[in-house]
Amino acid sequence: MPSVKSGTTHSHEPFHPASAPTAPAHRRLRWAAYLGVLLALGITSACASWGQRETGAVVGGAAGGAVGAVIGSQSGSTARGAIIGAVVGGSAGAIIGYQMDQQAKELEAAVPNAVVERVGEGIQVTFPSGLLYDFDSSAIRPDAAVHLRTLAASLQEYPDTELLIVGHTDATGTDTYNYDLSVRRAEAAMAFLTGQRVAAHRIHVSGRGEWEPIATNETEAGRRANRRIEVAIYSGQGGSTTR
């Protein structure tokens, strides 16, 4: 594969609060949500003229409602955008919040090598790609299957949740290659979960390639951090979760 691209920049930069306008972050996200609602009807036709990067963001955001794509763009995270977008138009309340708290605690204890975070009225689980795949591969490693089986068991215990699986890569290689690899990894994770009897209609996938880094791509440690799978878990269309 080609070496790391030094100095390459993309227009889809992560959101940096320090360089943002003076308006509070929550206000920017609120306006993003409003804009997403206004754009919802036009998203499908617009995708026809978009490239992989723009279309991938909307596919991911659609899992949490059309607003998720816009919020994800503002926050620099497609997974977080899906979670926030799913709540904007819903009726999430104290019961959902409590059950998400419980599910997050259970996942954190059961999958210690993953990062489990509560985001709004949802959960984000981040798996380092090395935990699930070999380098430059989209095949689930046999010794890593236990982690996805644990996730599947949790999803079965909370059947009214939905999830978005987002694949990410480092900046080694071309944009197109990295995008394709990120999609294949997300789809492989989905296939594994459906094989564990998680209903396919609950799962959405998105590939973001190298476009949403969480660390520098100039060091091996940074590239390793950027190679990851993010799973956004949020309340389903029914607006509640049951156990």
Span 129-158, average pLDDT: 94
Asked whether the whole model's pTM tops 0.85, one would answer no
Percent of the chain with pLDDT over 90: 53
Q: How far out from the chain centre does Cα 50 lie?
A: 20
Domain for residue 129, yes or no?
A: yes
Top-confidence range, 5-9, 25-29, 202-206: 202-206
114 or 28: which carries more pLDDT confidence? 114
> For the chain, what is the domain count?
1
Given a cut of 90, is residue 55 above it in pLDDT?
Answer: no
Domain for residue 3, yes or no?
A: no
Domain for residue 70, yes or no?
A: yes
Domain for residue 2, yes or no?
A: no
Residue numbers of the domain that contains 224 = 17-235
31 or 234: which carries more pLDDT confidence? 234
pLDDT digits (tens, 9 = 90+) for 164-194: 999 999 999 999 999 999 999 999 999 999 9
pLDDT digits (tens, 9 = 90+) for 119-131: 988 999 999 999 9
Given a cut of 60, is residue 56 above it in pLDDT?
Answer: no
Using 50, 70 and 90 to split pLDDT, how confident is the model at 235? Answer: confident
Domain for residue 11, yes or no?
A: no
Q: What CATH number should be reported for the domain holding residue 157?
A: 3.30.1330.60
Best CA proximity match to 14, nearest among 140, 168, 128, 162: 168
50 or 232: which carries more pLDDT confidence? 232
Number of residues assigned to the chain: 243
- Please write down the HEC assignment for all residues of the chain: CCCECCCCCCCCCCCCHHHCCCCCHHHHHHHHHHHHHHHHHHHHHHHCCCCHHHHHHHHHHHECECHHHHHHHHHCCHHHHHHHHHHHCCCCCHHHHHHHHHHHHHHHHHCCCCEEEEECCEEEEEEEHHHHECCCCCCECHHHHHHHHHHHHHHHHCCCEEEEEEEECCCECCHHHHHHHHHHHHHHHHHHHHHCCCCHHHEEEEECCCCCCCCCCCCHHHHHHHCEEEEEEEECCCCCCCC
Given a cut of 50, is residue 199 above it in pLDDT?
Answer: yes
Given a cut of 50, is residue 94 above it in pLDDT?
Answer: yes
CA distance 88 to 64: 9
Q: Which of 33-37, 90-94, 211-215 has the lowest mean pLDDT?
A: 33-37
Provide long-range contacts, Cβ within 8 A and 24+ apart, for 30-35: 32/67, 32/70, 32/71, 32/73, 32/74, 33/67, 33/70, 33/71, 33/84, 33/85, 33/88, 35/67, 35/70
| pLDDT value at residue 95 | 73
Computed over every residue of the chain, the mean pLDDT equals: 76
Question: In sequence order, which residues have a C-beta less than 8 Å from that of residue 203 and are 6 or more positions away?
Answer: 162, 163, 164, 165, 190, 193, 194
Domain for residue 241, yes or no?
A: no
Span 134-161, average pLDDT: 94
Q: How far out from the chain centre does Cα 83 lie?
A: 9
Best CA proximity match to 42, nearest among 63, 64, 58, 31: 58
CA distance 228 to 129: 4
Domain for residue 153, yes or no?
A: yes
Domain for residue 142, yes or no?
A: yes
| pLDDT value at residue 93 | 60
Using 50, 70 and 90 to split pLDDT, how confident is the model at 133? Answer: very high
